Amino acid sequence: MSAASIQAKIKRGLAKAVNKTGSAASDSVYLIKTTTVGGSPLGGGTTTSASTLLPNAIFKSYDAKMFNETILAGDRLLVCDNVTPIVQGDTVQQGALFYLVINVDVKAPTSDTLVYIAQVRLK
C-alpha cells in the first residue's frame, strides 16, 4: 500500500468522522499562521495572519489519567490530515475559541506525512 493511498484513506476517514459528529451549524476549524516582518528583537514590525480551513480535523479530549506537568486539564488533541502542516506555536480557531499548539506528533513512517496530531491548549 503506497503512502498516497494511505493518505487518501485517512482523509476519507477523518471526513466521515466530521460528517457523522458535526452538523450544518458546527463551527469549522481553522489554522491561523502569524508572520512578523521587520522590527527589532525588542518588537515592532508588521504582523500579518492568514487562516486556513482544516476540513478534515477533529478534536479529541485527553483521559483525566493522563494529566501531568505537560498535559493540563482542558488540553485537547487535534487530529488532521497531511494537507496543511501544523507546527508548535501555531494558533487553531474553532468558533470563538482559540487554541495554542503546544506539541505536534507527525505520523510519517517514511518521508511522506500521513497525519498531524497536535496537543492544543485554550488561549
pLDDT digits (tens, 9 = 90+) for 73-91: 889 999 999 999 999 999 9
d(CA 56, CA 109): 20
Domain containing 106 equals 3-122
pTM reported for the whole predicted model = 0.81
pLDDT digits (tens, 9 = 90+) for 47-70: 899 999 999 999 988 887 778 888
Total number of domains in the chain: 1
Residue matched to cell numbers 503512502: 3
What does the pLDDT read at residue 84? 93
Quickly list DSSP for 53-96. E-TTEEEEEPPGGG-SSSS-TT-EEEEEESSS---TT-EEEETT
Q: For the domain that residue 48 is a member of, what is the CATH number?
A: 2.40.10
